[in-house]
Structure 1
């Protein structure tokens, strides 16, 4: 029988609802939900994670941001949730006073929110981050990923050529899309220069986070983070590929990834949808968390 109980806390006059799972270790996990989805997660991913953690004696809290699940209010972009994350950390520790360290766990834009939290509102209680397939979507980088991974795979696929020769595709439209993607990808050089300048700026003063600057602020948050980081990436996922390409192309990102623990699951999709992949993620997380207890 799982020791779980509902919790409720207030963010900007909005009631946020979650589920606390009890454990006896002094390191606990805040499961930040990427959007738009609620605290159960795709294929009950977050429920299963919290129960695997509880089996290992690790407390956790998974909750709904405003406008999702049982929480009322308006849905906020992932980069505007720092205060809600802080209140969730407060609530997690309130539920179990033996907790002295917290790990933030996030998939996709929840991983991005975890790094942004350390930029927007550094918190000494956060001892670790678990980042799965972080969202670093930018127009030019997404186009590069599509060219490198999607279009190349299609061109090397027998099914694609059968469909094309059989009249199932409009070759002119496909060519137009390919050329537009290539054109977008070539904005990389100027965008990289702007990104490097923005990264330098974020080292000196906290700026408002927007859809245009969140990637640079993620980097700044990661560079400032004094705790440990576990990064888990999927081999069958364009979001992961975009993140890994960014780490290969940018030395500052590469350095952060090099300093972290990195586990790549080659066959996995974005949400680690099989029992095998999910089990590997859970075990890696448990091992990572238990190591933090001795630090």
Structure 2
């Protein structure tokens, strides 16, 4: 596997990207879009490790720091205004690996939201979206969403120790009643950012996978605001937002390989 760092321009700013490519390189590649203010290497170097593994499997991977983040200069536009960064990165990927004919874009958290909003019209053929961000801002609200509260209380009700605490008076009943009222609250109708994401994703013509870690708060907020019957959603029982545990890491890798592997041509 070869790792090469390169620069490219986005609206006057110089951005830095990294291309990982294996000795046997196929025609499908992954554009890895970082979430938040995360560096292209990812938390605990996780994205760099994922890129190297995919490259060794025959899929080139391009990672980059958007404007104002990491090694890239300029002013950080936040995910809401990152379309130019994604577009410039996709073009830089194609310039660095001109043999590619199929680009899959992967993003976690607000990078997934950005891809939902902006992928249509860019040289991106498919999307893998993990734990998409649904709050119209940079920080999560203090209040826990109803879906997260329901998940929490369901776990308690299946725990014999918690049931024993309830029966022996070890539970604050007023607090419990308040929690149950919040858990029973109906999900709010999609509005703002979520509505924009839905409309933009409806315009995207390529395959889409939505990956949710069921114990992750961001994923729970997304599930609370999105159509639960959406067939594009796949879930894993994990609390890891970044799929950092061994089981989640293998699960994510398998989903990305599946998205990057071209389907065999239909028989005439």
Q: Same fold per TM (> 0.5)?
A: yes
Does the residue aligned with 1:126 lie in a helix, a strand or coil? coil
- The residue aligned with 2:147 is 145
Q: 2 CA distance for matches of 1:44 and 1:153?
A: 32
> Unmatched 5+ residue regions in structure 1?
196-212
User: Contact 1:232/1:263 (CA < 8 Å) preserved in 2?
Assistant: yes
Q: 2 CA distance for matches of 1:266 and 1:140?
A: 24
Change (3 A) 1:98 1:151: same
Q: Name the TM-score, length of structure 2 as normaliser.
A: 0.81
User: Contact 1:127/1:292 (CA < 8 Å) preserved in 2?
Assistant: no
Q: Name the TM-score, length of structure 1 as normaliser.
A: 0.74
Does the residue aligned with 1:231 lie in a helix, a strand or coil? strand
- The residue aligned with 2:108 is 107
Change (3 A) 1:140 1:20: same
Structure 1 position 237, deviation (Å):
1.1
Structure 1 position 161, deviation (Å):
9.3
- The residue aligned with 1:204 is none
Change (3 A) 1:178 1:122: same
Structure 1 position 41, deviation (Å):
0.7
Structure 1 position 52, deviation (Å):
1.4
Q: 1 CA distance for matches of 2:148 and 2:105?
A: 30
1:165-190: CA deviations, max 9, x gaps?
A: 999x9x799689859x949x66x5xx
More helix by share: 1
Matched residue count: 257
User: Contact 1:155/1:161 (CA < 8 Å) preserved in 2?
Assistant: no
User: Contact 2:106/2:128 (CA < 8 Å) preserved in 1?
Assistant: yes
> Unmatched 5+ residue regions in structure 2?
none
Structure 1 position 241, deviation (Å):
2.1
Change (3 A) 1:161 1:39: farther
- The residue aligned with 2:220 is 241
Where in structure 2 are the equivalents of 1:76-155 lying within 5 Å? 76-118=77-119, 122-123=121-122, 125-137=123-135, 143-150=145-152, 153=155
Structure 1 position 149, deviation (Å):
2.6
Structure 1 position 13, deviation (Å):
1.9
**What is the aligned-residue RMSD (CA, Å)?**
3.4
Change (3 A) 1:96 1:73: same
Structure 1 position 231, deviation (Å):
2.1
- The residue aligned with 1:228 is 207
